[in-house]
């Protein structure tokens, strides 16, 4: 374990937070944090995450954010628009790294915020917070180029401890991917012990990988080659069985930044606008107010000259 034998006594989150906030206020600057301090940030956030449940239960108001994928400048614009903790509380649905150019800035800011304001920011695990995925799609290479492989392994250890889902006011169930044929209740997730690798099948895999499909009933094969797709009937059944009102998930590019499913009983959020410079999609964050009213913050894609793909 990378957490063993590390002296974290001289770690001061405020020092790192101020340094990261300089980049927050001027995103054109590179992140300049010594490897030793970045590693200690990882160890500190790991301790905070492990002190909280694998299924966090959140109060409102809260802002819910979908995939970010290392699009740091876009992420900063969104947080500046809504506000920083502790004035605002956030639930992030995973996929902080890969694809975009600045995964290290993105995940370091989130980790610093989590350590400094542990009850105002919650970070769920996405399928890209897995070594087998981010080894391929960019984060590993970014860590190796800017630091070394050792720091990537330290981040991986934190990712293996992240919670897999969350409940907001016992009525909104949130995860990165979707439902599982093997998940009866959200509280079943509490039985899983961390740190954990994500297997190729089962509840843990499905929470990070499954997708809704309007054309099927029940569960079906997923074109991703992993996990399942699920029909609207499964959403209705799960909500009714557990006395829930809404499921919020991420994991898929959607043109308007959000997309409803199952007569507004499920919503997909995607928070990386103009994803990879290839999709002409907007980004969205969902705000749940004190009286449980949901509203969306929409961030239009910047004007680009690239040829965009429709999906």
Region of 216 please: left (phi>0), alpha (psi -120 to 50) or beta.
beta
At residue 127, the pLDDT reads 98
Q: Render the burial of 276-299: b for 16+ CB within 10 Å, e for the rest.
A: ebebbbbbbbbbbeeeeebeebeb
pLDDT for residue 29:
87
Question: For residue 175, what pLDDT is reported?
Answer: 98
Helices 139-146/149-159 angle, 10° precision:
140
Question: What residues are annotated to the active site?
Answer: 128
Please answer whether residues 118 and 168 qualify as being in contact, where contact means their C-beta atoms are separated by less than 8 angstroms.
Answer: no
Q: Is the peptide bond before 61 cis (omega within 30 degrees of 0)?
A: yes
Question: What pLDDT is stored for residue 9 in this prediction?
Answer: 59
Handedness of CA 224, 300, 121, 237 (dihedral sign): negative
pLDDT, mean of each 10-residue run, the chain (311 residues) = 44 88 89 93 98 98 98 96 97 98 96 97 98 98 97 98 98 98 98 96 98 98 97 98 98 98 98 95 98 97 51 33
Sequential DSSP letters for 138-159: SHHHHHHHHS-HHHHHHHHHHH
Q: Which residues pair with 65 in a beta bridge?
A: 92, 285
Q: Would the CA dihedral through 103, 228, 216, 65 be positive or negative?
A: negative
């Amino acid at each position: 374990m990378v957490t063993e034998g590390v002296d974290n006594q001289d770690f001061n989150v405020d020092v790192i937070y101020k340094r990261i906030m300089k980049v927050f206020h001027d995103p054109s600057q590179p992140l300049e944090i010594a490897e030793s301090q970045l590693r200690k940030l990882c160890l500190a956030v790991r301790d905070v995450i492990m002190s909280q449940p694998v299924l966090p239960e959140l109060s409102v108001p809260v802002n819910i954010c979908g995939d970010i994928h290392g699009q740091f400048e876009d992420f900063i614009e969104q947080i500046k628009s809504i506000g920083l903790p502790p004035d605002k509380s956030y639930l992030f649905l995973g996929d902080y790294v890969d694809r975009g150019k600045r995964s290290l800035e993105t995940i370091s800011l989130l980790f610093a915020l989590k350590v400094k304001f542990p009850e105002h920011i919650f970070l769920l695990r996405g399928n890209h917070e897995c070594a087998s995925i981010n080894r391929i799609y960019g984060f590993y290479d970014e860590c190796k180029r800017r630091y070394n492989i050792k720091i990537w392994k330290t981040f991986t250890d934190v990712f293996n401890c992240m919670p897999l889902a969350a409940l907001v006011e016992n009525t909104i169930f949130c995860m990165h991917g979707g439902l599982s044929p093997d998940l009866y209740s959200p509280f079943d997730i509490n039985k899983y012990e961390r740190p954990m690798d994500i297997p190729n099948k089962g509840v843990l895999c499905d929470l990070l990988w499954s997708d809704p499909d309007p054309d099927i009933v029940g569960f079906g094969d997923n074109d991703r080659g992993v996990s399942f797709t699920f029909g609207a009937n499964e959403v209705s059944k799960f909500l009714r069985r557990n006395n829930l009102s809404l499921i919020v998930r991420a994991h898929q590019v959607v043109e308007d930044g959000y997309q409803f499913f199952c007569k507004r009983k499920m919503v997909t959020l995607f928070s990386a606008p103009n994803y990879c410079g290839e999709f002409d999609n907007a980004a969205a964050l969902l705000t749940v107010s004190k009286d449980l009213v949901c509203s969306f913050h929409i961030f239009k894609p910047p004007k680009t000259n690239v040829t965009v793909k429709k999906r």
